[in-house]
Structure 1
Amino acid sequence: MATTLPAAFQHPYTIDPRFSKSVAYFSMEFAVDQALKTYSGGLGFLAGSHMKSAFDLKQNLIGIGMLWKQGYYDQVRMPDNSMGVLFREKIYSFLQDTGEYFTINIFGRPVWVRAYYLDPKHFNTAPMFFLTTDVDGNDEQSRSISYRLYDNDPTLKVAQCMVLGLGGAKLLDEIDYSPEVYHFNEAHALSGAFHLYQQLGKSKEALRERLIFTTHTPEEAGNEKHNIHFLDNLSFFGGLTLDEVRELTGIHEDVFNHSLAALRMARRANGVSKLHGEVARKMWGSYPGICDITHVTNAQNYRYWADTQLAETYRHKDAAAMAVRKRAMKQPLLNIIADQAGKLFDPTVLTIVWARRFAAYKRPDLLLHDEERFMRLLNNPNYPIQVIWAGKPYPFDEGAKQNFNKLHYRSHLHPNMAVLTGYELALSKALKDGADVWLNTPVVPREASGTSGMTAAMNGAINLSTNDGWICEFAKPGGNSFIVPEADPQATADIRDAHDRNGLYDLLEQQILPMYYDRPNDWQALVSQSMTDVLAYFTAERMATEYYERVYA
């Protein structure tokens, strides 16, 4: 099998010799542009930035993902202003049909898969392929596999993983391409390892040599487990017998842990921050037969995310011009707020933003747990603030949606509080541009990395965060950010939350607000130092380089 891509799909640049090893990067979601809705949140933002930085660095890497007919979902308002979930067909004329049309076995029968190609010229990415089962020749169940990202039907969700893994691996066979590295960004593509194992003559050593695994979360929901017979009935193992699967993965019980299997079949694995690497080694270290787990801290693509005019004023060390530009960057966000919420926010007022996936451990409503201090914060005439929330709950997580709605209904009581819908790339960029303070409130140590604060810092926002994920490697408390000291790890949830909430309020009331309003020169120096420190290490060019030097090597 060839080790170079067919002419129609080759990289539009001469490969840098430092990055000549060929890599196929499998991910369930990619966020490369607002126009292509194939992502839900942080995993997609990260994978999209990786594809852009692979392009910038001229790396020999391609992306393989899924073409979601209805995306993740469109976040809308219902007539009563509660959050609505809209599944709407997406059509992309800029994707080109590769002509590759093949079957994989799912549900015990052949399912047709078609591959589309995203030309690097459209969004400045590495070459990318997107797979769909919404094609002629499939029945409705088979078509629906690629309708919705992270479907709530367990059978369909596993089938989606099979299209990504088995389908992605078979696509490479179909185009006669044999990359040196198969990089699974999370365990969604795991079924592809069983296909590759057979292609390599059922050699465990040959499989290990090719396979790299990135784990993104210590969360239970992010580490899939299924009954092994359920998976076998779906043909998840690509035709291997269960005895062969058990021998290959070392999993002899009926509960099949996808992440554990990946750790046993891969040559190397990585967490996505220094802290997460430590958590992952502790989490998996008692299991025999796993590969080494290192870490590569997540990062974001500077070219895509950073405001060019602010970057220019920063390079010239012109603090006054930076402040003027930052104020101008707020206006597009304020226009969105006026449009969605009917509120006219002030660009001179300190603007706090909480925006990311709505998950319970991220605690979006933490500030509201102390009614007295929340009201005092919102109504302080000497130090006015504006607070904005945005983010998408999982569409079938009723608790998260209720939390989102609770914040929205509460915002009606305050002219300086807003909750926005439509949290996708474009809104995320506007929020980063418009924020003065980027609020991050996860329970320590449950945030593997998080990257939203990086792109906020690139655009002149200051991070206010609990000490979790990437921030542990970045923060110089009071020097480039504000960090809540860690709570006692043995504390109950109520005591921990109160500790973190009080820490946030203390920092806002005693340090952040006085500095912003009374000592603007100090604030601007803080912004400059934050930008310096985020650019020193937290750009995706560093991340994409580290994968080649420390993981693929």
Structure 2
Amino acid sequence: MDFKNYEMPYSINKQFSEKVAYFSMEFAIDQALKIYSGGLGFLAGSHMRSAFNLKQDLVGIGILWKYGYYDQARNQDQTLLPTWTRKLYSFLEDTGIKFQIEIHSAPVWVKAYYLNPDTFNTAPMFFLSTDLPENDHISKTICHRLYDANESTKIAQMILLGKGGAKLLDEMNFEREVYHLNEAHGLPAAFYLLNKYNGDKEKVKEKLVFTTHTPEEAGNEKHNLHLCYDMSYFSGLKISEVKAIEGVADDRFNHSLCALRMARISNAVSQLHGEVSREMWNKYPNICEIKAITNAQEYKYWADHPLYKFKEDKDNKGFDHRKKHLKKRMFKIVADQTGNLFDADVFTIVWARRFAGYKRADLLLHDKARFEKLLNNPKYPVQIIWAGKPYPMDYSSISTFNSLVEQSKNYKNMAVLTGYELALSKSLKQGSDLWLNNPRVPREASGTSGMTAAMNGSVNFSTDDGWIPEFAKSGKNSFVVPQADYNNLSVYDQDEFDLNNLYDMLENEILPMYYDQPKKWRDVVKLSMEDVKDKFNSDRMATEYYEQIYKTS
């Protein structure tokens, strides 16, 4: 293939003919390609699969992380041990394209690798690497670790994604009408374009669209403006010109705010997140419109199709047998990792996602007496599993993970698993009866893990945040904790309110239904599977991006 004059490798559906480049720091495409950390990557991966399904004129641009995010291993006492192992991918094609970009006022060589659409049924994808013999050691390390803890390295990674990705498109003579930034990591692409178009801000605005995922201002990345300037983030623009665009007087450069000012249009990732984002950002002048396109996951990749077939055939015996089979299969992983033998006839709760403070992984343990009662209830037995990756420098979240590991040693029906990546995520969703999600409202922008859980016959039990208000019919297709007055309650009081409601619903509604009314429970599972199938399938989401964000007319 001639990558110097690249053309889309399949016929484009006329409905999706706008030419789009999608920039993301991470993509969860397949278990074999470890270039993701969590929800942002899962979302981007499903988007790439749906772009392929719909034959959209879209390409993905990311970074080829030499060591990925990290490999989740254990110390001798079973606590968390982050390890970094070099990844090798024989299925990626060397494009032969090599070029230089400026980082920290010095030329850095960049190489591009290609993921053929047929490999994993995705849009065509290009991954950038600086791990080349032509570069010095520091430049090589830019693409080593996803979300590196070093501030200068992190800024260099943004420059590689944005400036490097935009230059790659020029190197391939591959004109794109839309540059879609999935989060603000790729914002240097906007400054590359501004330099390319001789400072024509309107021309850049025509091309740029932006997806924001962070529902509170403090969570949006800010870095020292002068450091960003010294790192060559702005492609030659003077600091005074950057300040005029970003519009903030101090020296903290707010990547998201700048993206909202440079983009033609932007979107939040759930309807509730849209309301929160507009309220959060509208105090700043000159930002673009913020729409809401609710995240989704690809049904074809995630759903357990035999389970859906039994549902459609109204074969309840087959349906129940299939779910039990999926549980047994997942419990082999539990046994392998922990030595605990779980029972497929016992109600199984799973909490699995990225570990972060606001997600409150250990909330159930805040009331030790009720937790003890839950795990030792002879009438309504329970098994509970935790899994997820804390950021390797987030010591508070690592401490939470480790305290759960220590607690699990006291119970044969409690387990904490490592290696939470695509494959384990899928197994846990297939093998769980209840998918527990208890973020502090309104901190979860979307929270898509519950969508894929529902696609595998696991019922959502959640606080009323992210995508849940658009999906949930509590008691019919899910169970939703009543919403606390989060504007007026302290964090402590909100946690206490949610904790008591979680236990009340578990003890008085969920467990009695599962054990005493199995038909009613099965009806909840089936309605959940039905309600998630189309509305929260990423084919719908990818279509809405074209209709609401990419189209210029």
For 2:183, the equivalent position in structure 1 comes to: 186
Task: Rate the CA distance shift 1:121–1:7 in 2: closer, same or farther, 3 A.
Answer: farther
- For 2:225 and 2:430, the matched residues in 1 are separated by 47
User: Do 1:99 and 1:114's aligned partners in 2 also have CA atoms closer than 8 Å?
Assistant: yes
- For 1:315 and 1:301, the matched residues in 2 are separated by 19
For 1:196, the equivalent position in structure 2 comes to: 193
For 1:64, the equivalent position in structure 2 comes to: 61
Range with greater deviation from structure 2 (26-35 or 9-18): 9-18
- For 1:479 and 1:7, the matched residues in 2 are separated by 55
- For 1:316 and 1:268, the matched residues in 2 are separated by 44
Q: Which AA in structure 1 matches 2:210?
A: F
For 2:341, the equivalent position in structure 1 comes to: 344
For 2:80, the equivalent position in structure 1 comes to: 83
For 1:532, the equivalent position in structure 2 comes to: 530
Q: Which AA in structure 1 matches 2:500?
A: N
- Tell me if 1:73 matches 2:70: yes
Offset at 1:436? 0.4
- Tell me if 1:307 matches 2:304: yes
- SS of the equivalent of 1:25 reads strand
Deviation readout 1:138-175 (Å, 9 max, x if unpaired): 11100001000000000000000000000000001100
For 2:424, the equivalent position in structure 1 comes to: 427
- SS of the equivalent of 1:537 reads coil
- SS of the equivalent of 2:60 reads strand
- For 1:151 and 1:455, the matched residues in 2 are separated by 29
Deviation readout 1:431-468 (Å, 9 max, x if unpaired): 00001000001000000001000000000010000000
Q: Which AA in structure 2 matches 1:511?
A: E
Give the alignment partner of residue 550 of structure 2, picking from 545, 549, 552. 552
- Tell me if 1:126 matches 2:88: no
- For 2:216 and 2:76, the matched residues in 1 are separated by 35
User: Do 1:10 and 1:127's aligned partners in 2 also have CA atoms closer than 8 Å?
Assistant: no
- Tell me if 1:396 matches 2:393: yes
Q: Which AA in structure 2 matches 1:541?
A: D
> When the two structures are superposed, what TM-score results if normalisation uses the length of structure 1?
0.98
Offset at 1:11? 3.6
- For 2:323 and 2:5, the matched residues in 1 are separated by 43
- SS of the equivalent of 1:30 reads coil
For 1:501, the equivalent position in structure 2 comes to: 499
Offset at 1:245? 2.1
Offset at 1:492? 1.5
Question: What is the number of equivalent residue pairs in this alignment?
Answer: 549
Deviation readout 1:265-297 (Å, 9 max, x if unpaired): 000000000000000000000100000000100
- For 1:135 and 1:505, the matched residues in 2 are separated by 54
Structure 1 stretches lacking a partner, 5+ long: none
- Tell me if 1:34 matches 2:2: no
Give the alignment partner of residue 270 of structure 1, picking from 251, 267, 272. 267
- For 1:542 and 1:245, the matched residues in 2 are separated by 37
- For 2:251 and 2:489, the matched residues in 1 are separated by 35
Equivalent residue runs for 1:428-467 within 5 Å: 428-467=425-464
- For 1:442 and 1:487, the matched residues in 2 are separated by 12
- Tell me if 1:213 matches 2:210: yes
- Tell me if 1:135 matches 2:155: no
- SS of the equivalent of 1:217 reads coil
- Tell me if 1:472 matches 2:469: yes
Deviation readout 1:395-449 (Å, 9 max, x if unpaired): 0111111110100110010010000000000000000000100000100000000
For 2:250, the equivalent position in structure 1 comes to: 253
User: Do 2:7 and 2:174's aligned partners in 1 also have CA atoms closer than 8 Å?
Assistant: no
- For 1:435 and 1:349, the matched residues in 2 are separated by 10
- Tell me if 1:226 matches 2:223: yes
Offset at 1:13? 2.7
- For 2:141 and 2:509, the matched residues in 1 are separated by 52
Deviation readout 1:447-502 (Å, 9 max, x if unpaired): 00010000000000100000000001001111111000011221122211111011
> When the two structures are superposed, what TM-score results if normalisation uses the length of structure 2?
0.98
For 2:518, the equivalent position in structure 1 comes to: 520
For 2:362, the equivalent position in structure 1 comes to: 365
User: Do 2:246 and 2:254's aligned partners in 1 also have CA atoms closer than 8 Å?
Assistant: no
Offset at 1:6? 5.3
User: Do 1:467 and 1:483's aligned partners in 2 also have CA atoms closer than 8 Å?
Assistant: yes
- Tell me if 1:331 matches 2:331: no
User: Do 2:101 and 2:108's aligned partners in 1 also have CA atoms closer than 8 Å?
Assistant: yes
Give the alignment partner of residue 411 of structure 1, picking from 408, 413, 431. 408
- For 1:8 and 1:97, the matched residues in 2 are separated by 15
User: Do 1:204 and 1:248's aligned partners in 2 also have CA atoms closer than 8 Å?
Assistant: no
Q: Determine what percentage of the aligned residue pairs are the same residue.
A: 59
RMSD in angstroms over aligned alpha carbons? 1.2
User: Do 2:5 and 2:173's aligned partners in 1 also have CA atoms closer than 8 Å?
Assistant: no
Q: Which AA in structure 2 matches 1:423?
A: Y
Task: Rate the CA distance shift 1:329–1:11 in 2: closer, same or farther, 3 A.
Answer: farther
Offset at 1:239? 1.2
For 1:174, the equivalent position in structure 2 comes to: 171
Task: Rate the CA distance shift 1:494–1:142 in 2: closer, same or farther, 3 A.
Answer: same
Range with greater deviation from structure 2 (319-328 or 474-483): 319-328
Deviation readout 1:175-201 (Å, 9 max, x if unpaired): 011201000000000011001112223
For 1:17, the equivalent position in structure 2 comes to: 14
Offset at 1:221? 5.9
User: Do 2:5 and 2:172's aligned partners in 1 also have CA atoms closer than 8 Å?
Assistant: no
Offset at 1:321? 1.8
Deviation readout 1:48-105 (Å, 9 max, x if unpaired): 0000010011111000000000000000011121110001111111111111111111
Offset at 1:38? 0.4
Offset at 1:220? 4.8
User: Do 1:9 and 1:127's aligned partners in 2 also have CA atoms closer than 8 Å?
Assistant: no
For 1:485, the equivalent position in structure 2 comes to: 482
Give the alignment partner of residue 102 of structure 1, picking from 99, 102, 105. 99
Q: Which AA in structure 2 matches 1:476?
A: K
- For 2:262 and 2:434, the matched residues in 1 are separated by 43
- For 1:94 and 1:267, the matched residues in 2 are separated by 36
Offset at 1:318? 2.5
- SS of the equivalent of 1:502 reads helix
- For 1:20 and 1:460, the matched residues in 2 are separated by 36
Offset at 1:252? 4.3
- For 1:81 and 1:9, the matched residues in 2 are separated by 49
Range with greater deviation from structure 2 (455-464 or 222-231): 222-231
Offset at 1:392? 0.1
Q: Which AA in structure 2 matches 1:210?
A: K
Q: Which AA in structure 2 matches 1:514?
A: P
- SS of the equivalent of 2:154 reads helix
Q: Which AA in structure 2 matches 1:133?
A: T
User: Do 2:31 and 2:421's aligned partners in 1 also have CA atoms closer than 8 Å?
Assistant: yes
Q: Which AA in structure 2 matches 1:42?
A: G
Task: Rate the CA distance shift 1:392–1:220 in 2: closer, same or farther, 3 A.
Answer: farther
- SS of the equivalent of 2:61 reads strand
- For 1:431 and 1:319, the matched residues in 2 are separated by 22
Give the alignment partner of residue 44 of structure 1, picking from 13, 21, 41. 41
